[in-house]
Amino acid sequence: MFHLLYIFLRALIIFYCITIGGSFNAFYIENKLYFIGPFSTGHFYIDLKDVSLENGTIYTTQWIPLASPDYIKSNNPFIGGNSNKKIFFIDISSYGLYVDTFNTELNEWKLNNSYKGLPNGNSITDLTNSWITNETTGISYSFRGSTYTGVVIFDTINFAWINSTSSPQNLYPKSSLIFGCVPVLLSNGQILYIGGDPDRINQPLMSGILTYDSIKDSWQINNTTGKAPEERNKHTAVLASDERVIIYGGKSILNKSLPAIPNLAVLDTSKTPFEWSTPIEENSIGFLNGHTSIMVKNYMITTFGTNSTEKGINIGTVENIYKLDTSNLSNYKWSLLSNFDDKSIPISKSNSSQISPITPIQPNSASDNASFDNFVITKLSTRWIVTILAIVIIFACLLIFFIYKFIQNKK
């Protein structure tokens, strides 16, 4: 019985960490690859300055922890600023709307920055959806998930909210919702919203790409040619230098217990209309969902999330960092970039005392250092610890009840 209880709790913890806990966001700034976790204790970076992605070298240096104030929220931060060296955090609480920043050049946090204006709409709770930044203009955009409200816009240079006057409500039934679509900004200013889980929308999202023109402040649907991949969410989409959009992983919308097929797909936006293709995938790392991807030169760096190749309680959490060589247009090849199991990150456990610790970067307005322990696996907030304890108590009560009924029936 204790074994069953262990299985139940393990499955619950994994479900929270991967599904509810949120995923990492990645930013490539000045040869450093930053990973910002869904909690204040999960941030770190790796320095790729002297690392060649082309020769198959495995990154063995330490993953450097990045401390932050405990009350910083990191749901979908975004890059910005004059030289795109700041990471922005939109912090929403019962006290109001805050804009916090981390300056990667100065290694400095600045909290509660002043800003001009307010985002349009009656609700600010939807500002935690994915953001995309035009690194030329410093303007960031976030689709609120509703065809009625459209996008919210923030000027990261002048710290000002800009109100869009358009929405895609004429393209879909009124007040339709799209959850989990991934934004990709093309060089012409168009933002493609790839995939997602639609509500009250009957038309496919992968063969008809919802598109926002950030220059004209207008919406359209870009129909595609080729065999469109399966509808999905919990996937990633990144832009290569030649305007290819690389889609990877995700869960099927039709059958949420299965991975979306194909695992890897490419949308060529240099063609009119856009064209889908499915390249060969060498050394596959599995069917991932809830992972993080970012383009660095000709490589898509991917890590974390869930490996759907494993089933049931053995569902796999992805801990290593991988790179996908996309230079061959018809044959993409995976290889390992950095191995979590090499214990190159500092861990303050008794069985890891031989690892010399790294002093994390200190926030300029926080008194406590953020712990880096178990940033991949242990992401439980206080409210979820309470929830798990409550479930354990309920489980124990049910167990006692069934044992009592069993004894009564034996009599």
* Cis status of the peptide bond prior to 173, with omega within 30 of 0: no
- Which is higher by pLDDT, 5 or 408? 408
Q: Taking the CB of residue 6, how many other CB atoms lie within 10 A of it?
A: 11
In the chain, domain spans: 1-26+226-348, 67-223
| Inter-CA distances, 213 with 12, 83, 169, 396, Å | 42, 23, 15, 56
Mean per-residue pLDDT of the chain: 81
Please choose, from the candidates 231, 148, 225, 153, the residue with its C-alpha nearest in 3D space to the C-alpha of residue 189. 153
Across the beta sheet with 306-307, the strand order is: 288-289, 306-307, 316-317
In the chain, the percentage of residues whose pLDDT exceeds 90 is 56
Read off the pLDDT band of 41 (50, 70, 90).
low
Architecture category of domain 67-223 in CATH = 6 Propeller (2.120)
Task: Provide Rg for the chain, Cα atoms.
Answer: 22
Which two structure tokens, joined as six digits, stand for 34? Answer: 């930053």
Is it the case that residue 58 has pLDDT exceeding 50? yes
- Beta strand 264-268 pairing with 274-277: antiparallel
Per-residue pLDDT reduced to its tens digit, 102-120: 999 999 999 999 999 998 7
Q: How confident is the model at residue 10 (pLDDT cuts 50, 70, 90)?
A: very low
The pLDDT of residue 74 is: 66
pLDDT-based confidence at residue 317 (cuts at 50, 70, 90): confident
Q: Can you tell me the mean pLDDT for 347-369? A: 31
| 154-177 residue pLDDT tens | 999 999 999 999 999 999 877 789
Q: Between the CA of residue 194 and those of 1, 265, 276, 324, what are the distances in Å?
A: 45, 12, 12, 20
Q: How far apart are the first and last CA of the chain?
A: 22
Q: How confident is the model at residue 368 (pLDDT cuts 50, 70, 90)?
A: very low
SS3 assignment, position 10: helix
How far is 167 from 4, CA to CA, in rounded Å? 50
pLDDT band at 395 (very low <50, low <70, confident <90, very high): confident
| CB 293, CB 301: distance < 8 Å | yes
